[in-house]
Structure 1
């Protein structure tokens, strides 16, 4: 599929998934806590997976598919902090916390990213840079979806107001495109480094 058409298709699919996921959460049929939690978690995961498919311009190569799956899993893992904070596997306890659990602090995403980039620069590790990009795509998509209902939490500074739906959807659609630009730059840099290494090997 032509890259532009592929991106447009995935952006539309991303919008549909967000709309369906949000609509289902408000539907009278979805009342049981388990169903609500599962629906929300799956929506987070699918949004993360599709977001990375946009970033890497998915052509269904093995590496790309694995990256999409990793992004999907990371987007869903954010909610594990409910159980960690509750110190219980009880869904009721996990959903009845007095405050937001730690993985929902957007400042944590920023700190993890800064740490990964610094370590990647020291170790000259392209894999860490790629990992940071996948992590960011996954967790930002989760935080923005949650932010539509509760705002973003910038610990220790406080929370923003709930993100209006048009803005929330706009960020969800725009963020993978921003990451796509960074990913293209990353690919060019990786190709450049590989060329330098091969040229050096030939000279030897």
Structure 2
């Protein structure tokens, strides 16, 4: 199978999960536990595929265990973000966790903005691609999770002197941004890879560039 076809299949699967997960939540109202499982599984699978797209692009720079660790982190973190509902509620009961009067702390959209800023800083350090990838899969987890929630509640930005919620995100915008997210990160990280591949030519003061491989 060609790399392009494989990539298209990943995007098609991610789109299917987005739509199917949302439709199932509308159909399945009870039991509440099943509805919560559908929602959480959708978050996890979206985070898994989006993280895999980013990590796969840089597979030549990573060992097998690093690749699996990064992809697993994107998947698991996309899911466990919802544990903040139980922490905020100070209860293990699903009803308490889903009936909070305010959004829990890990749903603060300032988190993914801070992660994005950290990635931009990390990209300026050519020898630290792995650190940038760890930040990237963490960003994927928070951004895709909060973006999906934002179709119902909008984004919530909480910081000193700031407590602001946006209008709900239009559904097709959510679908498009979910698909674009991993590729935006790939383009950002590609600047770091190009810097890291600049090596001095022996006996010359010029710089040799090795072009970025296209996957």
Smaller-chain TM-score bracket: 0.7 to 0.9
Question: What does 1:61-80 align with in structure 2 at a 5 Å threshold?
Answer: 61-80=64-83
CA distance in 1, matches of 2:119, 2:182: 19
1:177–1:17 Cα change, 3 Å: same
Instruction: Could you list the structure 1 runs, at least 4 aligned residues long, displaced by more than 4 angstroms after superposition.
Output: 58-62, 115-122
Please state if 1:154 is matched with 2:160.
no
Other-structure match for 1:164:
170
**Residue from 109, 126, 134 that aligns with 2:137:** 134
Question: What does 1:3-82 align with in structure 2 at a 5 Å threshold?
Answer: 3-28=3-28, 30-57=29-56, 61-82=64-85
Please state if 1:145 is matched with 2:148.
yes
Deviations 1:112-161 (A, max 9, x none): 44357658979x74432221111111110001100011111122241111
Q: What runs of 5+ residues in structure 1 fail to find an aligned partner?
A: 200-204
Other-structure match for 1:202:
none
CA distance in 2, matches of 1:61, 1:7: 19
CA distance in 2, matches of 1:56, 1:116: 15
CA distance in 2, matches of 1:44, 1:36: 13
CA distance in 2, matches of 1:35, 1:49: 21
Q: Residue 56 of structure 1: CA displacement?
A: 2.5
> What's the secondary structure of 2:8's corresponding residue?
helix
Deviations 1:86-121 (A, max 9, x none): 112121111111000111111122224435765897
The answer to whether the 8 A contact 1:117-1:128 is kept is no
Q: Residue 77 of structure 1: CA displacement?
A: 1.8
Give the stretch that moved more between structures: 54-63 or 159-168.
Answer: 54-63
Other-structure match for 2:211:
none
RMSD, matched Cα: 2.6
1:184–1:4 Cα change, 3 Å: farther
> What's the secondary structure of 1:154's corresponding residue?
strand
1:133–1:39 Cα change, 3 Å: same
Give the stretch that moved more between structures: 112-121 or 176-185.
Answer: 112-121
The answer to whether the 8 A contact 2:157-2:165 is kept is yes
Structure having the larger proportion of residues in helix: 1
1:188–1:172 Cα change, 3 Å: same
